[in-house]
Amino acid sequence: MQLFFVTLFPTVRQKDIYRIYRYQMTRTLPDRHSQENQSAFNLSQLLSREPIQTDNAHIRKQISNAVILITGAAGSIGSELAMQVCQLNPKSLILIDQSETLLTEMEVALQPRYPHIRLTAFIGDITDSLRMEQIIRQMQPDILFHAAAYKHVPVMEKHPYEAVRTNIFGTKILVDLAVRYGVKQFIFISTDKAVRPASVMGATKRLAELYIRQSCEQSGTKFTITRFGNVLGSSGSFINIFKKQIEDGGPVTVTHRDASRYLMTPDEACQLVLQATSSDYYGKIVFFDMGRPVSVQAVAGQMIRSAGLTPHLDICICYTGLRPGEKLHEDLLNDDETEIPAAHSGMRIAASDNRSLNFETIFKKLSTALNSANPGQIVATLKQILPEYDDAALMCRPM
């Protein structure tokens, strides 16, 4: 069995662990199901449910011979998505990311394996409207997968300027360009943290969702939103943190003994995104049925036991308190949304009436807040625009 989380090198940095993980992913790339069996054994065990299996037949029809663009292509989700897209034989694949090193590594890993696919990598920032327009006008993508985002909740509490600039204005730029240049489909990767948001990151993703929903009514581009749970093993995942802490002999730090999260594997996350290309989901918000939320404390204990150790005897579990922006529990549906079955097994739709918002005014307010360079003003503006953004949800129960 091949494990992608490196346990033999206690001095390896988090960034290097992720690079080794990505390299191993490329080595097993030809057979996605073999890759799942070899790499996600421990990950799938942590789900407390059976991994969701999807039918790729209709996905292949959507992707085959299409021009595909992925933003955030060098990230943990974007890179896995690029690998899976290549197996579906697109006409060409366009990768956009700010990281020159990781983007180059992606290109070097993919090109020899798929020489028949026209692969083009662009270093670029999604908030650079001129650069994004140049790329989309030149490459004329059929399907745009928008994975680029700032996603780490506590970090974005410290940097609301970057969260708003990238997650809201960066998304707006791509949405508007997709409409202008006739992109056929636009798949947006969102998060359960956009549901009843209690953080800057969640609020910015929720506003991006609402802008996309409103854009659906005014264009020929088919928009779909996918909502993720916590993707096990992705960059910044608590799984990586626990793994490193166990390697170092502990303690394993859990924010709260009652904290729980919806969990999914990287393979499931990408399968959700690819399934979202189906015409059944145009204009919809879709998510996987991830079962019941999983206790973070239980995951920590399970990982310790899987290493042949005993929780609280060999490795201590300690509770540090919720970090800024974190909630005890996540949700998958906002108050105005209803869960309905989807056309494909394991998928669900968050149905609601479209909310009509004056985005011209909203963007002016956000621009003024950004120009102030005042984090407090930026957060206050977000709360004014989005009443459901309530950090009172962060109130921590006794541990």
List the catalytic residues.
193
Cα–Cα nearest to 269, from 240, 315, 300, 237:
237
DSSP state of 340: E
SS (H, E, C) 180-230: HCCCCEEEEEEEHHHCCCCCHHHHHHHHHHHHHHHHHCCCCCEEEEEEECE
β-strands 347-351, 285-288 pairing: antiparallel
Instruction: Quote the distance between the C-alpha of residue 279 and its chain's center.
Output: 22
Tokens of 352: 């609601």
Give me the phi and psi of 243, to 5 degrees please: -60, -45
CB 159 within 8 A of CB 207: no
Distance between CA 267 and CA 274 in Å, rounded? 11
Instruction: Quote the distance between the C-alpha of residue 236 and its chain's center.
Output: 11
Dihedral Cα 66, 69, 74, 78, nearest 10 deg = -70
Helix, coil or strand: residue 118: strand
Instruction: Quote the distance between the C-alpha of residue 53 and its chain's center.
Output: 19
